Amino acid sequence: IFQHAVSLRRSGHEVTLLTETPVTSDDVSWHPDASELRFATYAECEQEHFDIALATWWRTVYLLPQVRARVHAYFVQSIESRFYPASDGAAFYWAEATYGLDLPIVTEVSWIRDYLREHHARDAIVARNGIRKDIYTAAGPAVSPRNPQRPRILVEGTLGVFFKNVERTIELCRQSDAPEIWLMTPTKGVSDYDGVDRVFSAIPVEKTAEVYRSCDVLVKLSTVEGMFGPPLEMFHCGGTAVVYNVTGYDEYIRDGYNALVSQMHDEESVVENINALIHDSQLRARLQEGALRTAQLWPDWPEASRVFEQAVLHLATGESEDPPLLAAKCRLYQRWYERHVNVQQLLEKREGQAVVDLQNDFSRAYQRLQHVEHCLRLARQEAADYRATLEAVQRSKSFRLMQKVRKLPGVSALSRHSLRSRRTSLKRW
C-alpha cells in the first residue's frame, strides 16, 4: 500500500491514507518514504471530497460510507475471510460479504480475480505487486556467508497466526536433517525460539535481504496467502524454497524448476523435500538458478505501480454502489454479525425461542433490503429508458424545427400562455 501510495503521489496525484486513529512518524518509520505521505483520520476528513476512496482491507470496506467520494472501490489483497478459523464463522461471513458489494475491484494476483468471478460474479483488474530490486539482489552483504557443506534453512513469518503456520514449520524443519535453522519474523520482541539457531525479530526491510542471502532454502508453509511475497524475495537473493501449494503460489513458483512444492498439509512430503535440498547440492543449485531466472522477469515497484495507477484511474472514471445503499448494506451486515454473535451466546444458554426471534428479525431485514435493491434496479432502468427517449426526441427533425419556430416573434409569448393554461388545468384536476 505504501509503495503504491508513494508512487501515485510522485506521479502528481493527491493521496491521503485514512486511519481510525492518528498516525505518528514513529508508527511508519519502518518505511523509508512514509514521510512523503499524508495521513489523516476519518473524522479529520469528514468535509473533504475525494475522486476515489479505495478500501484496502475488508474491515475498511465497512468504513467507506464515512468517506465522501465520487467512486468507492476495493483493493482486494487476499480473500481475507480465510484469515478466520472455522470456529469463527461469523467473522468469516462478515468478511466474505464485502466481496459481493457493488464496488469496482483491483487485486494483485490472478487467483483472487478468478475467485471473485466464480463465487461472487465480480470482475477485477489485476495489478501485480512489484519488488524492491534495489534491496533484494543476489549480490550484497550477508549476515553470514553461505556454506555449501552446511545448507542453512530459513523460516519466515508472523508467530501466533494460525494461517502463517510458522510454529509447525519450525517443527518440521527440526524433523529434517537441516544442520542449521534460522527464523525471521515481523513479530516484535522475540530474542530466541526453541530449536532455532538464530532469530531476527522485526528487523528493517533493508536488512531482510542480508538474512535471505545468508540462507540456502526458505521453508514457507502458509495455508492462506494473497500475493506470496517471501519466496519471491528469496529468489531475488539467490535462494530457493519449499512451499505448500497455497493460493497464489503458481503466480511464479514452478515445482522442480525454481522450488519444491508439497500438497497442502502433506508434512511428510515437506520433510522429504527439505532433506532432498540438504543432501543434493546439484538439485539445490539447479533450483537456485531457476529462481534467479524467475526473479529477473518479475517487475520492480515503479513498473508495478504504473500498472496500479492506470487501474485506479480506470476505476475512478466508472460507477460504484450508490452511497446510501452501500451504507444500508454495511449497517445490515454489521447488524447481522452482532446478531449472529448474540445468537451464538444464546445457543450456549439454550434460550431457543430467543434464537428463533433473532433469526426471524434478520430474515425480514434481509428481505427488505432485497426489495429496496429491486426497486432501485427498476428505477435505474426506467431512468435509462427515459433518457434514451429524450435523446431520440432531441435528435429528431421535428424537435429541431420546433426549436427554430419557438424563436419566431409572438410564438414564445403564446407558448408561455399555453403552459400557464396547462398548469392551471393540472392543478384543478
Distance, CA of 349 to CA of 157 (rounded, Å): 39
> Of 98, 41, 95, nearest to 67 (Cα)?
41
Mean pLDDT of 81-107: 88
Cβ-contact 72, 64 below 8 angstroms: yes
- Radius of gyration for the chain, computed over Cα atoms and rounded to the nearest angstrom: 29
Helix axes 267-279, 281-297, angle to 10 degrees: 100
State how far the alpha carbon of 296 is from the alpha carbons of 237, 241, 301, in Å.
Answer: 11, 17, 13
Q: Which three cell numbers stand for residue 177?
A: 536433517
Mean pLDDT along residues 153-175: 96
Helices (H), 196-322: 205-212, 229-236, 267-279, 281-297, 301-316
Residue whose grid cell is 478500501:
55
- pLDDT confidence of 236, banded at 50, 70, 90? very high
> Quick one: pLDDT at residue 381?
80
* pLDDT score for 237: 98
For the cut 90, the answer to whether the pLDDT of residue 255 exceeds it is: yes
Residue predicted with more confidence, 191 or 374 = 191
- Bridge partners, residue 185, by sequence: 201
3-state secondary structure 332-359: HHHHHHHHHHHHHHHHHHCCHHHHHHHH
Which whole number is the average pLDDT over 332-348? 75
Q: Range with the lowest mean pLDDT among 50-54, 76-80, 161-165, 410-414?
A: 410-414
Q: What is the mean pLDDT of residues 47-69?
A: 95
Task: Find residue 200's DSSP bridge partners.
Answer: 184
Residue 356: predicted pLDDT: 61
Cross-strand pairs, 241: 218
Mean pLDDT value of segment 57-83:
94
Residue 254 has pLDDT above 80, yes or no: yes
Q: Per residue in 116-125, pLDDT tens?
A: 999 999 999 9
Mean pLDDT, all residues of the chain: 89
User: Is the CATH number 3.40.50.720 carried by domain 152-298?
Assistant: no
pLDDT given at position 127 = 95
Residue 358 has pLDDT above 70, yes or no: no
Please check whether residue 320 is in contact with residue 71, taking contact to mean a CB–CB distance below 8 angstroms. Answer: yes
Domain boundaries, the chain: 152-298
* Residues in Cβ contact with 210 at an 8 Å cutoff, skipping those fewer than 6 apart: 140, 141, 142, 143
Q: Could you tell me where the DSSP H helices lie in 121-250?
A: 166-175, 205-212, 229-236
419 or 122, greater pLDDT: 122
Asked whether the predicted pLDDT for residue 258 surpasses 60, the reply is: yes
